[in-house]
Amino acid sequence: MEELKRLENELRLRGFSQHTINSYVYWNKEFLKFAKKRPEEVSEDDIKSYLAAKISSNVSPKSLVLIKAALKFFYDEVLGKDIVKLKTPKVPRKLPTVLTKEEIKALIKSCKNRKHKLILMLLYSSGLRLSELINLKVGDLELDERIGWVRGGKGKKDRIFLISEKLAKILKKYIEKNRKKRDDYLFAGRNGKISARAVQKIVKLASKKAGIEKKVSPHTLRHSFATHLLEDGIDIRRIQELLGHANLSTTQIYAHVSREELKKIKNPLDRII
């Protein structure tokens, strides 16, 4: 459909990720199947009926927000109809799962495969997102300086990340042994770079071997990195920069999950007994 091609082109021109482009196009296609109309015939009531149907089908609040954003971008931004005005339920903000420092140590120690261990260490040492890790190239690392660069990360922004002194030395040997060039992916897979699914499997298997009962994913190591920095007294704005958060409010969630910070609070009962 010509209109959906316009949507795809507009998203691409504005620098949206391929994942977002695919999601927006998909949900607009699904909506048009529901409405049984051409885009220019769609009304505000059609939008409301579709979102109400999604709520009735128990779609998650997070998915509902995505669907509304996809429809709003197409009908309001691209077609200029200004018809997506319905407020959607707020997404419940869950506190992230965080591992203790002892659990991180056990996780890394449980992994015997050298490459897999490096992946775990780098995820925790850097606070990288999964997509950022798998797209990392040798040339993005400055191991003598113990830093690396995320090129075109979330929001198409470059940012710096930290690498531990011990890990930098191990990574140097790993790169030399595997004769990797600057343009090579740091962690190779069948199609050039390691897949997201493979990294998820590595983390899940290591957590199982370490006897960790919490639900652990690559993002758990990012959460743990941020929380442990906060517990070590690092300013939250510095943590915001390292994580690549656009808003400080996103980073402040780690203040709610820091056990060490909570332990510092003197309980009022102890003051009066």
Largest distance between two CA atoms of the chain = 74
Assign 272 a pLDDT band (cuts: 50, 70, 90): low
Per residue in 201-253, pLDDT tens? Answer: 999 999 999 999 999 999 999 999 988 888 888 888 888 888 888 777 777 77
**What are the tens digits of pLDDT across the range 54-107?**
988 988 888 888 999 999 999 999 999 988 887 766 766 677 888 999 999 999
Known catalytic membership, residue 219 = yes
Told to judge if 154 belongs to the known catalytic residues of this protein, a careful annotator would answer yes
pLDDT of 269 strictly over 60: no
Write down the catalytic residue from 54, 68, 222, 228: 222
173 is catalytic: no
- Of 56, 58, 71, 59, the residue nearest 24 (C-alpha): 71
Residues belonging to the chain: 273
| Residue 142 backbone dihedrals phi, psi, to 5 degrees | -120, 80
- Helix or strand run (H / E) with residue 132: helix 130-134
240-265 confidence digits (pLDDT tens) = 888 888 777 777 777 766 666 556 65
Q: pLDDT per residue over 110-135, tens digit each?
A: 999 999 999 999 999 999 999 999 99
Is 222 among the catalytic positions? yes
Tokens of 64: 């509902």
The CATH number corresponding to 2-78 among 3.40.50.10680, 1.10.150.130, 3.40.50.300, 1.10.1040.10 equals 1.10.150.130
Q: Which of 72, 117, 129, 193 is catalytic?
A: 129
Q: How confident is the model at residue 35 (pLDDT cuts 50, 70, 90)?
A: very high
- What is the DSSP pairing of strand 147-150 with strand 141-142? antiparallel
Annotated catalytic, 237? no
- pLDDT tens digits along 151-163: 875 656 788 898 9
Sign of the Cα pseudo-torsion (202, 208, 210, 213, in order): positive
Catalytic residue among 29, 81, 154, 204: 154
Residue extent(s) of CATH 1.10.443.10 domains in the chain: 101-263
Which of these CATH numbers, 3.20.20.190, 1.10.1060.10, 3.40.50.1860, 1.10.443.10, describes 101-263?
1.10.443.10
pTM of the predicted model as reported, rounded to 2 decimal places: 0.69
Strand residues in 87-194 grouped as ranges (E): 141-142, 147-150, 159-162
Cα-Cα-Cα-Cα torsion 247, 243, 10, 61, nearest 10 degrees, comes to -70
CATH 1.10.150.130 in the chain is located at 2-78
User: Residue 251: what pLDDT?
Assistant: 73
116 as an active site residue: the answer is no
